[in-house]
């Protein structure tokens, strides 16, 4: 029997909202058959980040070569670095019947929304309880300079107005609750 093609799940929202944490909890549910799309980035690895697990860390030249060869499903510049989704990897996994999660910022999410069929994907926007809460999360988890923190925050404020383009908006008030809501959303869409 032929495998049904996997669902594309776009998880977006401002930097610092907790996409990664929520996504990791969602992925523990093996019944959802999820895999994570590992992105390519020109950002330097943070402490504890692992090549090929968290990101594929590449030089600007390699990244640009991938853009030129049309290897990226989407890409965006974020606070001075580039981030992109390798196209073949996502396609291969979906063809194997896996449901692929893209955890990406809003410009990239918009590109994927415009390039893919509505029946083929779902989009989820994760929002923080408040901007103050987001600021505190960004400040606590990062070892970044003040100007970078400010840039991330300003970007986040602009991004918060884009929620109406998404199928679902999920409030990250508590990670366990938000993850539970996302699991239900995915489950509901897998049954369709
Ligand atoms: P960070 O530097 O915090 O790892 O990532 C910065 C932002 O880029 C986050 O919002 C993250 O979700 C997003 N991001 C990670 N990978 C990709 C990608 O492949 N494409 C796009 N457009 N954004 C990404």
For the entire predicted model, the pTM comes to: 0.93
Tens-digit pLDDT profile for residues 74-113 = 999 998 999 999 999 999 999 999 999 999 999 999 999 9
For residue 85, give the nearest of 9, 4, 159 by alpha carbon: 9
Range 126-141 burial, b when 16+ CB lie within 10 A, else e: bbbeeeeebbebbeee
Query: In this prediction, what percent of the chain has a pLDDT beyond 90?
Result: 73
User: What's the CA-to-centroid distance between 104 and ligand 1, angstroms?
Assistant: 5
Backbone dihedral region for residue 144 (phi beyond 0: left; psi -120 to 50: alpha; all else: beta): beta
Q: Where are the alpha helices (DSSP H) in 2-145?
A: 19-27, 60-68, 87-95, 106-115, 131-141
Reply yes or no on whether the pLDDT at 191 is more than 90: no
Give the CA distances from residue 97 to residues 87, 100, 129, 190, in Å, rounded to whole numbers and listed in that order. Answer: 16, 9, 35, 11
At residue 143, the pLDDT reads 65
User: What's the CA-to-centroid distance between 2 and ligand 1, angstroms?
Assistant: 33
At residue 145, the pLDDT reads 82
Tens-digit pLDDT profile for residues 30-80 = 999 999 999 999 999 998 999 999 999 999 999 999 999 999 999 999 989
Q: Phi and psi of 84, rounded to 5°?
A: -155, 160
Give the CA distances from residue 186 to residues 34, 85, 101, 129, 154, in Å, rounded to whole numbers and listed in that order. Answer: 10, 21, 10, 22, 31
C-beta of 83 in contact with ligand 1 (< 6 A): yes
User: What's the CA-to-centroid distance between 185 and ligand 1, angstroms?
Assistant: 22
Give the CA distances from residue 18 to residues 4, 24, 61, in Å, rounded to whole numbers and listed in that order. Answer: 31, 10, 30
At residue 56, the pLDDT reads 97
C-beta of 76 in contact with ligand 1 (< 6 A): yes
Give the burial class of 116: count Cβ atoms within 10 A of its Cβ; 0-12 exposed, 13-18 middle, 19 or more buried: middle
Q: What is the DSSP letter of 47?
A: T
Reply yes or no on whether the pLDDT at 147 is more than 80: yes
How confident is residue 155, by pLDDT bands cut at 50, 70 and 90?
Answer: confident
CA of 81, closest atom in ligand 1:
2
CA of 84, closest atom in ligand 1:
19
How far, in Å, CA of 177 to CA of 183, rounded? 10
C-beta of 159 in contact with ligand 1 (< 6 A): no
């Amino acid at each position: 029997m032929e495998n049904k093609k996997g669902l594309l799940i776009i998880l977006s929202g401002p930097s610092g909202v907790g996409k990664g944490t929520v996504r990791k909890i969602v992925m523990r549910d093996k019944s959802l058959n999820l895999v994570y799309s590992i992105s390519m980035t020109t950002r330097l690895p943070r402490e504890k980040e692992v090549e090929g697990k968290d990101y594929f860390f590449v030089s600007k030249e390699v990244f640009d070569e991938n853009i030129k060869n049309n290897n990226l499903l989407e890409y965006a510049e974020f606070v001075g670095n580039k981030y992109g989704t390798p196209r073949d990897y996502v396609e291969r996994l979906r063809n194997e019947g896996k449901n692929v999660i893209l955890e990406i910022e809003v410009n990239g999410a918009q590109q994927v929304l415009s390039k893919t069929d509505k029946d083929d994907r779902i989009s989820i926007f994760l929002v923080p309880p408040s901007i103050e809460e987001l600021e505190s999360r960004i400040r606590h988890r990062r070892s970044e300079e003040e100007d970078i923190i400010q840039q991330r925050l300003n970007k986040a404020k602009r991004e918060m107005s884009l929620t109406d383009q998404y199928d679902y908006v999920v409030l990250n008030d508590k990670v366990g609750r938000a993850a539970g809501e996302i699991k239900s959303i995915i489950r509901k869409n897998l049954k369709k």
